[in-house]
Amino acid sequence: MPYSKQHKQQSRKRILQSAAQLFTAKGFDNTSIDEIMASADMTRGAFYAHFASKSELYAQALIYAATNSIFSMPKPDNLPEQSLVETILRGYLSLGHINGEMPCPLAFLVTDVVNQDPQVRKTYTKVFKGMNRQLLKHAKAYSSCTEDTLLAVTAMMIGGVAIGRALDDKATTKKLLGSCHQVAQSLLNDEP
């Protein structure tokens, strides 16, 4: 008896969730299909019912992580745009994000993606541009920040998280994240 469409979608989601967690923690080369499937509590054979290759899964896991990130959360109707941007900055530039279950693939995979096939790099670029569009849309509601300013802010956010993840000194990591948050907020609020 064939599986239902809903069962296939749920299985695919479990694989993507496991892949996103493992790839962001260990990178492409240090994560095996067997490991991803074991984490999803599925067999290796089930992998090929959903993905043609590990590279395809990697690209799709990037998209999955992005669509389940703080940037994709729906804006509550009563929350002003400036408060939403502050919530995003605070959540993204936090120890909880660095140590979280679903860290940002833009920060955690920035050097890993460089060594992947062109489709993976194209997907990474798409996710990065999407992050910028979302943040700019919210910031433009209360600020005159430009796309160039936003590119600098998101590069600083991603870099801050990537560096914070690599540091072994919690106090320095907190200071780094706090500094990035303060400067990002200043830039987005049109302050000198």
120-131 as b/e: b if 16+ CB within 10 A: beebbeebbebb
Token duo for residue 77: 């109707």
CATH class for the region spanning 5-54: mainly alpha
In tens digits, the chain (192 residues) has pLDDT values of 566 778 788 989 999 999 998 998 888 899 999 999 999 999 888 898 899 999 999 999 989 988 887 777 777 888 898 999 999 999 999 998 888 766 788 888 888 888 888 888 999 999 999 999 989 999 999 999 999 999 999 999 999 999 998 999 999 999 999 999 999 999 998 755
CATH 1.10.357.10 in the chain: give the residue spans: 69-188
190 contacts: CB under 8 Å, gap ≥ 6: 143, 144, 145
CATH 1.10.10.60 in the chain: give the residue spans: 5-54
CATH 1.10.357.10 fits 69-188, yes or no: yes
Asked if 106 and 162 touch (Cβ cutoff 8 Å), the reply is: no
| Residue that has been written with the tokens 């994240």 in this structure | 177
pTM over 0.95: no
